[in-house]
Amino acid sequence: MELLQLKYFETVAKYENMTAASRELCVAQPAISQSIARLEEDLGVELFTREGRRIKLNACGKHLNSRISSILTSLDNVRLELTEIADKSGSTIGLKVLSASTLLPHMLSGFQHIFPQIRFRLIQNPTETKYDLCINSTASLKNKRDTVLLDEEILLAVPRDYPCQAECSILLASLKEEGFISLRKGITFRTIMDEYCDCIQFSPKIIFESDSPATVRGLIGAGVGIAFWPSISWGSLAEDKVKALHISDLCARRVVTLSAPEGKVMSKAAAVFASYAVDFFKNL
């Protein structure tokens, strides 16, 4: 029984379709079929019921599928542990960054000044599952295993000469006709704000969408529109042609978190960075 056979089985079991598994794995279908056949021979049982070209997990296949995730995670952990014992690597951190990316250059620069031997593989694909640590955000702490890096208020950023009745606050309900600049759908902060707005039945009129907080900031300063703005992680607005207002009819906050994949043994390098990240955010 080989590791590759198990990985192929996991994908075939996921789809119960050789063609779909071949497409995801980028491996020719005959090679996958042969690998599954060898796995069944090694185990001494069939894992799928075959009806023409269709396949379906049988009882043995379902049992193996229920255990496969923990088996593969354990094998990955053993490989990591052996690698660190041999001191051949273990110094590269797969860091998945889905929030607070504006702070990333400063944080990594400071960390590598102290630990120059530790390298990073930066990931910004939300669907990527191969990583060591993930920086993300939610409207509130939903998973107690996550480490809170930052709890921040969400403000409204407007051009510096924007007229408002109160000097430092504004009613969101009064902005139904205003043009909003937003991050695109699918980005974590956009999802958080969509949830908040749905709760109070407010639908912002979005006139621009972007992938970049810096672009959002520039468009606000140019007088193009207004935008929701995390008070700390996106940086200060003091030196821009932009000002930040408290939202008086919506108590909006977000929590920036650090997490590791469940069941994965954290490398020494990842543990060192996790500790540094907590201290870094405390000093913002």
User: The dihedral of CA 96, 101, 105, 106: what is its sign?
Assistant: negative
Cβ atoms of residues 244 and 237 within 8 Å: yes
CA distances from 180 to 58, 177, 196, 229 (A): 53, 9, 15, 11
Environment class of residue 105 by beta-carbon count within 10 Å: exposed (0-12), middle (13-18) or buried (19+)? exposed
107, 120 contact by CB (below 8 A): no
For 19, phi then psi, to 5°, come to -65, -45
pLDDT tens, per residue, the chain with 284 residues: 677 788 889 999 999 998 888 888 887 888 899 999 999 999 999 999 988 778 999 999 999 999 888 887 777 667 666 655 555 545 889 999 999 988 999 999 999 888 888 899 999 998 899 999 999 999 876 777 899 999 999 999 999 888 876 678 899 999 999 999 999 998 999 999 999 999 999 999 999 999 888 899 889 989 999 999 999 988 777 667 888 999 999 999 999 999 999 888 888 889 999 999 999 998 87
What contacts 150, CB < 8 A, 6 or more positions away? 100, 232, 233, 255, 256, 281, 284
Q: Are strands 169-170 and 242-247 parallel, antiparallel or unpaired?
A: parallel
Distance CA 132, CA 277 (A): 14
